[in-house]
Structure 1
């Protein structure tokens, strides 16, 4: 699956490069035609002051103009073909990108199942941990200073992020342990039941706000909106996740998706700032997240790409 996707991506990249070369060639030919037309204009202007050989000059100019018109027609046809090829390549790329996103999402969900087991082991060995510069023990995965949060999200325009209304809903989660409830909630995403997944994950975070998996659940809660292209709700959920659970395993992804959703909402400056802050806030983030942020910054034409 991954090999096929990479192969298709490579083909698309080379196709795009080949298309660029053809476009450049067409543009060069157009420039040459412009030069030829200017030469013809000069010839017509100079001959207008001469009385002899008008028929001969007129015939040669007419022939030259005809040749240029033929060239222009050929170039128009080439441009139409290139445009069609480019649109087809972009459509294929978007389809591939969606498949890669789905594959990545599926892999993350599989890893989240493994994380449930790891969290069980961690919770037995170390329920709380002291962090440098603090007097009181803090819950692992929820520690962050107020200054750090304010610096990262102070520029986010509240008007661009709509708060999700609290609604009274019936309980969806099974009467089991938090770990089993988390598995149940994320399993709804795997089968594509995003409406129920939204409610289940929201219920999990509400019931278990201090649990080790709360940060992960908040991220997947935001994802249920992102998948459905409900970017206002997604941005609100990602922002909430970053502010409440900045040190969770999904912290870097929260900031990444917050940047993307803000950019999709037209808040490009703020979105780019979030994307640019990933390496600073999470220097040990996975390379896949760093590379994805770099790609998104290029996509949204952010000022700094690095």
Structure 2
């Protein structure tokens, strides 16, 4: 029994020893395994860190290159934008200059059109009232002879514009007495003008008098007063007895007055009044004759002519009578004298 127990004890001790040996061996193996794993982890960690650093370095390099390219592209765009802004500014300046020139041209054209429109309205208003059947009292021989002598003494011809003195005359000599028209005083001037005109190139087309008159009016509409002067004068010379000749003579005189050639204008107005005293535009002719005389410096004689509009043409249009009153009382402040 003891032997059996001893054997069991020996076996148990052997087992413990053997187990201990195995356990110790296993512990050693585990330690080695752990150490190897730890080494592998360290190696892996170093590898990962090294790769990450390499990637970061590459990313930074790529980012720097990309940033540099972006900066270069941005610089190019900014330069291009600056060039576009400069070109746009230049175009804006040129556009402003063109607008300024167009405004000036538009203003000039508007003034010419307004001036012509006003004159056409005046003549149309004067044409409304038919004064052919009215009894009109004309200027006296004394009045017309006086004006004609003063003009002819200076040998006034169309084209001259220097004011001339017409002298003085008392109001008593200006009283109305008869209807006789004095036209001999302008015949010499007309002959000279006709001779000069025949040597010049004709402007009017070979059409009807009405179309020729309209052709001459077109020069007025565009502000070509020099051509209008020649065209209206040509019309009067080739159509002396036409119903439009009185109007043509009036506009012929107007071409001088518009250009401030008051002496020539007075000559033309007087000629128109003498040759067409019963035309629809005769009151306007007499009024403008007076205005031109005042503008020449002959205020007394001009005022007498203006005052004579109402006396000679009491049935003239209100437009003409009102203008005569305005010139007499406000514009020129004419002095009224007793006859």
TM range (shorter): 0.5 to 0.7
Structure 2, unmatched stretches of 5+, are 1-110, 159-191
Match status 1:223 vs 2:254: yes
The SS at the match of 1:277 is: helix
CA RMSD of aligned residues (A): 3.2
The SS at the match of 1:241 is: helix
Q: Distance in 2 between matches of 1:283 and 1:256?
A: 13
Partners of 1:182 and 1:201 within 8 A in 2: yes
Match status 1:277 vs 2:308: yes
The SS at the match of 1:249 is: coil
Partners of 2:253 and 2:264 within 8 A in 1: yes
Q: Normalising by the residue count of structure 1, what TM-score does the alignment of the two structures yield?
A: 0.53
2:10 aligned partner: none
Say which of 189, 201, 209 aligns to 2:232: 201
The SS at the match of 2:147 is: coil
Say which of 118, 121, 145 aligns to 1:107: 121
**For the structure 1 residues 100 and 259, does the alpha-carbon distance in structure 2 shift closer, same or farther, using more than 3 Å as the test?**
farther
Match status 1:236 vs 2:250: no
1:268 aligned partner: 299
1:122-152 residue CA offsets vs partner (Å, 9 max, x unmatched): 9xxxxxxxxxxxxxxxxx79x989x755254
Q: How many residues end up aligned between the 2 structures?
A: 183
Say which of 149, 153, 157 aligns to 2:144: 153
Rg larger for:
2
Partners of 2:290 and 2:301 within 8 A in 1: yes
Please report how far the alpha carbon of residue 106 of structure 1 lies from its aligned counterpart in structure 2 after TM superposition: 3.5
Please report how far the alpha carbon of residue 268 of structure 1 lies from its aligned counterpart in structure 2 after TM superposition: 0.9
Partners of 2:250 and 2:268 within 8 A in 1: yes
Please report how far the alpha carbon of residue 163 of structure 1 lies from its aligned counterpart in structure 2 after TM superposition: 3.5
Structure 1, unmatched stretches of 5+, are 1-96, 123-139
Higher normalized contact order (CA 8 Å, seq sep 6+, divided by chain length):
2
1:301 aligned partner: 333
Q: Distance in 2 between matches of 1:163 and 1:284?
A: 33
